[in-house]
A and B are shown apart, each in its own frame.
Chain A
Amino acid sequence: MVTPTASHSTRPITVADLEQVIAIDKVSTGQSRRHFFEKRFAAAKARPSDFVQVGVVADNTLRGFAIARILRGEFGQKDAIAVVDALGVERESREHGLGHRLIDGLVETARKQGAHSVQSLVDWKNPDLLRFFNTTNFKLAPRLALECAMADLRTERDEEP
Protein backbone atom coordinates (compact mmCIF):
# COMPACT_ATOMS: atom_id res chain seq x y z
CA MET A 1 0.00 0.00 0.00
CA VAL A 2 1.27 3.45 -0.88
CA THR A 3 1.36 5.79 2.08
CA PRO A 4 -0.06 9.30 1.82
CA THR A 5 2.48 11.82 0.61
CA ALA A 6 3.74 14.74 2.66
CA SER A 7 1.44 16.99 0.67
CA HIS A 8 -1.60 15.25 2.21
CA SER A 9 -2.82 16.82 5.42
CA THR A 10 -5.72 16.14 7.75
CA ARG A 11 -8.00 18.92 8.93
CA PRO A 12 -11.56 19.46 10.16
CA ILE A 13 -14.03 19.94 7.35
CA THR A 14 -16.72 22.60 7.30
CA VAL A 15 -19.65 23.68 5.22
CA ALA A 16 -17.13 25.19 2.78
CA ASP A 17 -16.24 21.58 1.83
CA LEU A 18 -19.86 20.56 1.27
CA GLU A 19 -19.81 20.36 -2.53
CA GLN A 20 -16.61 18.30 -2.61
CA VAL A 21 -17.99 15.94 0.03
CA ILE A 22 -21.19 15.44 -1.97
CA ALA A 23 -19.21 14.82 -5.15
CA ILE A 24 -16.88 12.24 -3.57
CA ASP A 25 -19.80 10.48 -1.89
CA LYS A 26 -21.83 10.38 -5.10
CA VAL A 27 -19.09 8.43 -6.87
CA SER A 28 -19.16 5.82 -4.08
CA THR A 29 -22.90 5.50 -3.51
CA GLY A 30 -24.11 6.26 -7.01
CA GLN A 31 -26.61 8.78 -5.62
CA SER A 32 -26.46 12.35 -4.42
CA ARG A 33 -27.03 12.62 -0.70
CA ARG A 34 -27.11 16.39 -0.76
CA HIS A 35 -29.98 16.66 1.71
CA PHE A 36 -28.25 14.37 4.20
CA PHE A 37 -24.94 16.24 4.05
CA GLU A 38 -26.58 19.66 4.18
CA LYS A 39 -28.37 18.60 7.35
CA ARG A 40 -25.19 17.12 8.80
CA PHE A 41 -23.13 20.24 8.24
CA ALA A 42 -25.88 22.49 9.58
CA ALA A 43 -26.21 20.34 12.70
CA ALA A 44 -22.44 20.26 13.18
CA LYS A 45 -22.32 24.03 12.98
CA ALA A 46 -25.07 24.34 15.57
CA ARG A 47 -23.68 21.68 17.94
CA PRO A 48 -19.98 21.16 17.15
CA SER A 49 -19.40 18.98 20.23
CA ASP A 50 -21.84 16.38 18.85
CA PHE A 51 -20.05 15.76 15.56
CA VAL A 52 -16.63 14.78 14.27
CA GLN A 53 -15.81 15.78 10.70
CA VAL A 54 -12.35 15.34 9.25
CA GLY A 55 -10.91 15.50 5.78
CA VAL A 56 -7.68 14.74 3.96
CA VAL A 57 -6.54 17.50 1.67
CA ALA A 58 -3.86 17.75 -1.02
CA ASP A 59 -3.22 20.71 -3.31
CA ASN A 60 -6.08 22.59 -1.64
CA THR A 61 -8.51 19.91 -2.76
CA LEU A 62 -10.46 17.59 -0.50
CA ARG A 63 -9.44 14.01 -1.28
CA GLY A 64 -11.44 12.21 1.36
CA PHE A 65 -13.68 12.76 4.37
CA ALA A 66 -15.05 11.00 7.44
CA ILE A 67 -18.08 12.11 9.42
CA ALA A 68 -19.27 10.76 12.76
CA ARG A 69 -21.95 11.70 15.23
CA ILE A 70 -21.27 11.56 18.95
CA LEU A 71 -23.98 9.72 20.85
CA ARG A 72 -24.25 10.17 24.60
CA GLY A 73 -26.69 7.66 26.00
CA GLU A 74 -28.55 6.39 22.94
CA PHE A 75 -29.21 2.64 22.81
CA GLY A 76 -28.75 2.57 26.59
CA GLN A 77 -24.98 2.95 26.32
CA LYS A 78 -23.21 4.41 29.34
CA ASP A 79 -20.28 5.98 27.53
CA ALA A 80 -20.19 8.44 24.68
CA ILE A 81 -19.54 6.82 21.31
CA ALA A 82 -18.73 8.27 17.91
CA VAL A 83 -20.73 6.60 15.13
CA VAL A 84 -19.24 6.81 11.65
CA ASP A 85 -22.01 7.52 9.22
CA ALA A 86 -20.12 8.68 6.17
CA LEU A 87 -16.67 7.91 4.83
CA GLY A 88 -15.35 8.53 1.36
CA VAL A 89 -12.14 8.87 -0.64
CA GLU A 90 -12.02 10.18 -4.19
CA ARG A 91 -11.50 7.44 -6.76
CA GLU A 92 -8.07 8.66 -7.91
CA SER A 93 -6.69 8.66 -4.34
CA ARG A 94 -7.84 5.22 -3.27
CA GLU A 95 -5.32 2.58 -2.19
CA HIS A 96 -3.03 5.34 -0.95
CA GLY A 97 -3.73 4.99 2.76
CA LEU A 98 -6.01 8.03 2.97
CA GLY A 99 -8.72 5.96 4.65
CA HIS A 100 -6.34 5.07 7.46
CA ARG A 101 -5.37 8.69 7.88
CA LEU A 102 -9.05 9.65 8.04
CA ILE A 103 -9.75 7.05 10.71
CA ASP A 104 -6.73 8.21 12.71
CA GLY A 105 -8.01 11.77 12.55
CA LEU A 106 -11.52 10.69 13.43
CA VAL A 107 -10.37 8.66 16.43
CA GLU A 108 -8.17 11.46 17.72
CA THR A 109 -10.93 14.06 17.43
CA ALA A 110 -13.50 11.70 18.95
CA ARG A 111 -11.18 11.11 21.90
CA LYS A 112 -10.88 14.85 22.48
CA GLN A 113 -14.66 15.12 22.44
CA GLY A 114 -15.03 12.49 25.13
CA ALA A 115 -15.96 9.42 23.07
CA HIS A 116 -14.86 6.07 24.46
CA SER A 117 -15.16 4.25 21.16
CA VAL A 118 -15.71 4.79 17.46
CA GLN A 119 -18.35 2.53 15.92
CA SER A 120 -19.71 1.78 12.50
CA LEU A 121 -22.32 -0.45 10.93
CA VAL A 122 -20.97 -2.25 7.90
CA ASP A 123 -22.90 -4.30 5.41
CA TRP A 124 -21.97 -7.98 5.64
CA LYS A 125 -21.98 -8.03 1.85
CA ASN A 126 -19.39 -5.27 1.55
CA PRO A 127 -16.09 -7.17 1.86
CA ASP A 128 -13.98 -4.17 0.83
CA LEU A 129 -15.30 -2.04 3.67
CA LEU A 130 -15.09 -4.94 6.14
CA ARG A 131 -11.46 -5.48 5.14
CA PHE A 132 -10.77 -1.78 5.53
CA PHE A 133 -12.16 -1.66 9.07
CA ASN A 134 -10.29 -4.85 9.90
CA THR A 135 -6.99 -3.28 8.84
CA THR A 136 -7.76 -0.18 10.95
CA ASN A 137 -8.10 -2.41 14.05
CA PHE A 138 -11.87 -2.26 14.43
CA LYS A 139 -13.38 -5.29 16.20
CA LEU A 140 -16.86 -6.77 16.32
CA ALA A 141 -18.81 -4.83 18.95
CA PRO A 142 -20.93 -6.64 21.58
CA ARG A 143 -24.07 -5.21 20.00
CA LEU A 144 -26.58 -6.49 17.50
CA ALA A 145 -28.11 -4.40 14.78
CA LEU A 146 -31.79 -5.25 14.45
CA GLU A 147 -34.19 -4.08 11.78
CA CYS A 148 -37.89 -4.19 11.14
CA ALA A 149 -39.68 -3.41 7.91
CA MET A 150 -42.95 -1.57 8.46
CA ALA A 151 -44.89 -4.46 7.03
CA ASP A 152 -43.38 -6.91 9.52
CA LEU A 153 -44.95 -5.59 12.70
CA ARG A 154 -46.67 -8.53 14.30
CA THR A 155 -49.41 -8.57 16.89
CA GLU A 156 -48.52 -11.07 19.58
CA ARG A 157 -48.40 -10.10 23.24
CA ASP A 158 -45.00 -9.53 24.70
CA GLU A 159 -42.69 -8.84 27.56
CA GLU A 160 -41.78 -5.20 28.12
CA PRO A 161 -38.31 -3.82 27.70
Chain B
Amino acid sequence: MTDTSRTKTQQIRIPERVGAEAEVNYGKEPEPDFGPLARDRIPVRAMRESDLRKLIDIDSRITGRNRADYFNRKLEEALYESDVRVSLVAERDGEPIGFIMARVDFGEFGRVEPIAVLDTIGVDPDFHNQGIGRALLSQLFVNLMTLRVEGVRTLVGWSDQRLITFLDRCGFHPSQRLCLEFAVK
Protein backbone atom coordinates (compact mmCIF):
# COMPACT_ATOMS: atom_id res chain seq x y z
CA MET B 1 0.00 0.00 0.00
CA THR B 2 1.43 3.32 -1.01
CA ASP B 3 1.28 6.45 1.10
CA THR B 4 -1.29 7.87 -1.27
CA SER B 5 -3.69 4.92 -0.98
CA ARG B 6 -3.37 4.97 2.83
CA THR B 7 -4.36 8.61 2.88
CA LYS B 8 -7.43 7.88 0.75
CA THR B 9 -8.45 5.05 3.08
CA GLN B 10 -8.13 7.29 6.10
CA GLN B 11 -10.39 9.84 4.45
CA ILE B 12 -13.29 7.38 4.04
CA ARG B 13 -15.67 7.66 6.99
CA ILE B 14 -17.35 4.40 7.99
CA PRO B 15 -20.70 4.75 9.72
CA GLU B 16 -20.51 3.37 13.24
CA ARG B 17 -23.95 1.76 12.98
CA VAL B 18 -26.88 1.45 10.62
CA GLY B 19 -28.83 4.68 10.57
CA ALA B 20 -25.87 6.81 11.46
CA GLU B 21 -25.78 10.25 9.92
CA ALA B 22 -23.22 9.37 7.27
CA GLU B 23 -25.23 6.49 5.85
CA VAL B 24 -27.89 7.27 3.32
CA ASN B 25 -31.05 5.23 3.79
CA TYR B 26 -32.44 4.89 0.30
CA GLY B 27 -35.42 2.91 1.59
CA LYS B 28 -36.66 5.77 3.71
CA GLU B 29 -39.68 7.75 2.58
CA PRO B 30 -38.48 11.04 1.07
CA GLU B 31 -38.87 14.18 3.16
CA PRO B 32 -41.37 16.68 1.78
CA ASP B 33 -39.74 19.86 0.51
CA PHE B 34 -40.85 22.08 3.41
CA GLY B 35 -42.14 19.51 5.91
CA PRO B 36 -45.85 18.95 6.49
CA LEU B 37 -47.49 22.30 7.15
CA ALA B 38 -49.72 22.70 10.17
CA ARG B 39 -52.57 23.85 7.96
CA ASP B 40 -52.30 20.61 5.98
CA ARG B 41 -52.78 18.55 9.13
CA ILE B 42 -55.52 20.64 10.69
CA PRO B 43 -58.53 21.63 8.58
CA VAL B 44 -58.96 25.40 8.48
CA ARG B 45 -61.92 26.97 6.69
CA ALA B 46 -63.82 30.23 6.41
CA MET B 47 -65.96 31.18 9.40
CA ARG B 48 -69.70 30.53 9.13
CA GLU B 49 -72.68 31.92 10.98
CA SER B 50 -73.34 28.49 12.47
CA ASP B 51 -69.92 28.61 14.21
CA LEU B 52 -70.90 31.53 16.39
CA ARG B 53 -72.12 29.73 19.51
CA LYS B 54 -69.08 27.48 19.64
CA LEU B 55 -66.68 30.39 19.10
CA ILE B 56 -68.28 32.38 21.92
CA ASP B 57 -67.94 29.32 24.15
CA ILE B 58 -64.24 28.85 23.31
CA ASP B 59 -63.55 32.56 23.80
CA SER B 60 -65.28 32.63 27.18
CA ARG B 61 -63.14 29.70 28.32
CA ILE B 62 -60.02 31.64 27.29
CA THR B 63 -60.94 35.11 28.50
CA GLY B 64 -63.35 34.29 31.32
CA ARG B 65 -65.82 36.72 29.77
CA ASN B 66 -68.93 36.38 27.64
CA ARG B 67 -68.19 38.38 24.51
CA ALA B 68 -71.24 37.38 22.50
CA ASP B 69 -71.80 40.98 21.35
CA TYR B 70 -68.25 41.22 20.08
CA PHE B 71 -68.45 37.99 18.12
CA ASN B 72 -71.86 38.84 16.72
CA ARG B 73 -70.49 42.15 15.46
CA LYS B 74 -67.35 40.56 14.02
CA LEU B 75 -69.33 37.92 12.21
CA GLU B 76 -71.66 40.55 10.82
CA GLU B 77 -68.68 42.55 9.57
CA ALA B 78 -67.14 39.44 8.03
CA LEU B 79 -70.27 38.30 6.28
CA TYR B 80 -72.05 41.43 5.24
CA GLU B 81 -69.79 44.48 5.23
CA SER B 82 -67.45 45.89 2.64
CA ASP B 83 -64.27 45.85 4.74
CA VAL B 84 -62.01 43.03 3.67
CA ARG B 85 -62.01 40.63 6.60
CA VAL B 86 -60.43 37.24 6.78
CA SER B 87 -62.09 35.13 9.45
CA LEU B 88 -61.09 31.49 9.74
CA VAL B 89 -61.97 28.53 11.89
CA ALA B 90 -59.91 25.41 12.64
CA GLU B 91 -61.91 22.28 13.20
CA ARG B 92 -61.53 18.77 14.55
CA ASP B 93 -64.18 16.16 13.80
CA GLY B 94 -66.31 18.89 12.26
CA GLU B 95 -66.30 21.04 15.42
CA PRO B 96 -64.60 24.47 15.67
CA ILE B 97 -61.59 24.36 17.99
CA GLY B 98 -59.96 27.68 17.14
CA PHE B 99 -60.47 30.94 15.30
CA ILE B 100 -58.55 33.85 13.84
CA MET B 101 -59.76 37.18 12.45
CA ALA B 102 -57.95 39.91 10.57
CA ARG B 103 -58.95 43.04 8.73
CA VAL B 104 -57.30 44.54 5.70
CA ASP B 105 -57.35 48.28 5.60
CA PHE B 106 -55.34 49.91 2.90
CA GLY B 107 -54.08 53.07 4.51
CA GLU B 108 -54.81 52.67 8.20
CA PHE B 109 -52.62 54.33 10.83
CA GLY B 110 -51.25 56.68 8.20
CA ARG B 111 -49.56 53.86 6.36
CA VAL B 112 -49.94 53.46 2.66
CA GLU B 113 -48.64 49.94 2.28
CA PRO B 114 -51.17 47.12 2.46
CA ILE B 115 -51.10 45.80 6.00
CA ALA B 116 -53.58 43.47 7.64
CA VAL B 117 -54.51 43.89 11.28
CA LEU B 118 -54.84 40.66 13.26
CA ASP B 119 -57.34 41.47 16.01
CA THR B 120 -58.64 38.13 17.30
CA ILE B 121 -57.13 34.70 17.80
CA GLY B 122 -58.09 31.87 20.12
CA VAL B 123 -57.70 28.12 20.52
CA ASP B 124 -59.88 25.85 22.64
CA PRO B 125 -57.84 25.19 25.83
CA ASP B 126 -58.44 21.44 25.35
CA PHE B 127 -56.44 21.61 22.12
CA HIS B 128 -53.49 23.75 23.18
CA ASN B 129 -49.99 22.79 22.03
CA GLN B 130 -51.25 20.88 19.02
CA GLY B 131 -50.30 23.39 16.33
CA ILE B 132 -53.83 24.79 15.96
CA GLY B 133 -52.73 28.42 16.35
CA ARG B 134 -49.97 27.94 13.80
CA ALA B 135 -52.37 26.28 11.36
CA LEU B 136 -54.76 29.21 11.67
CA LEU B 137 -51.99 31.77 11.24
CA SER B 138 -50.51 29.86 8.33
CA GLN B 139 -53.83 29.73 6.47
CA LEU B 140 -54.44 33.40 7.28
CA PHE B 141 -51.14 34.28 5.63
CA VAL B 142 -52.03 32.24 2.56
CA ASN B 143 -55.37 34.05 2.24
CA LEU B 144 -53.78 37.45 2.79
CA MET B 145 -51.13 36.82 0.16
CA THR B 146 -53.88 36.45 -2.43
CA LEU B 147 -54.98 39.97 -1.43
CA ARG B 148 -51.42 41.20 -2.00
CA VAL B 149 -51.05 42.06 1.65
CA GLU B 150 -47.40 42.37 2.56
CA GLY B 151 -47.54 42.09 6.30
CA VAL B 152 -49.63 41.60 9.41
CA ARG B 153 -49.73 43.81 12.48
CA THR B 154 -51.24 43.18 15.87
CA LEU B 155 -51.29 44.64 19.38
CA VAL B 156 -50.50 42.54 22.42
CA GLY B 157 -50.69 43.35 26.11
CA TRP B 158 -47.10 43.74 27.21
CA SER B 159 -47.60 41.21 30.02
CA ASP B 160 -49.23 38.59 27.81
CA GLN B 161 -46.11 36.44 27.69
CA ARG B 162 -47.77 33.37 26.20
CA LEU B 163 -49.19 35.24 23.22
CA ILE B 164 -45.96 37.17 22.70
CA THR B 165 -43.95 33.93 22.73
CA PHE B 166 -46.34 32.31 20.29
CA LEU B 167 -46.22 35.24 17.88
CA ASP B 168 -42.43 35.48 18.21
CA ARG B 169 -42.12 31.85 17.16
CA CYS B 170 -44.40 32.53 14.21
CA GLY B 171 -42.10 35.24 12.87
CA PHE B 172 -43.58 38.38 14.45
CA HIS B 173 -41.21 41.02 15.77
CA PRO B 174 -41.57 44.39 17.48
CA SER B 175 -42.90 47.06 15.15
CA GLN B 176 -41.07 50.38 14.88
CA ARG B 177 -44.32 51.92 16.09
CA LEU B 178 -45.15 52.96 19.62
CA CYS B 179 -48.61 52.48 21.04
CA LEU B 180 -49.68 55.69 22.77
CA GLU B 181 -52.85 56.28 24.74
CA PHE B 182 -54.85 59.00 26.41
CA ALA B 183 -57.06 57.82 29.26
CA VAL B 184 -60.53 59.23 28.69
CA LYS B 185 -62.14 58.08 31.94
Q: Give me the interface of A with B, judged by CB distance under 8 Å.
A: 29, 31, 33, 35-37, 39, 42-43, 46, 71-76, 78, 81-82, 85-87, 103, 107, 110-111, 115-125, 130, 133, 136-150, 152-161
Contact = CB atoms under 8 A, between A and B. Distances in A.
Given A107-B182, A138-B181, A155-B35, 7 more contacts: A43-B83, A111-B184, A121-B180, A144-B157, A145-B155, A152-B173, A156-B169
A118 B184 contact: yes
B163 A161 contact: yes
B158 A150 contact: no
B129 A160 contact: yes
B27 interface: no
A141 B157 CA distance: 9
Contacts, number: 215
A124 B129 contact: no
Contacts of B112: 29, 31, 33
Contact of A78 (B65, B105, B159): B65
Contacts of A147: 115, 151-154, 172-175
Contact of A136 (B159, B175, B182): B182
B157 A143 contact: yes
Interface residues on B, range: 35 or more
A40 B146 CA distance: 23
B63 interface: yes
A137 B182 CA distance: 7
Given A39-B83, A158-B134, A160-B129, A133 B180 contact: yes
Given A42-B82, A157-B134, A160-B133, A145 B180 contact: no
Contacts of B179: 119-121, 140-141, 143-145
A141 B156 CA distance: 11
Interface string B104-140: 0111111010010001111100011111111001100
Contacts of A130: 178
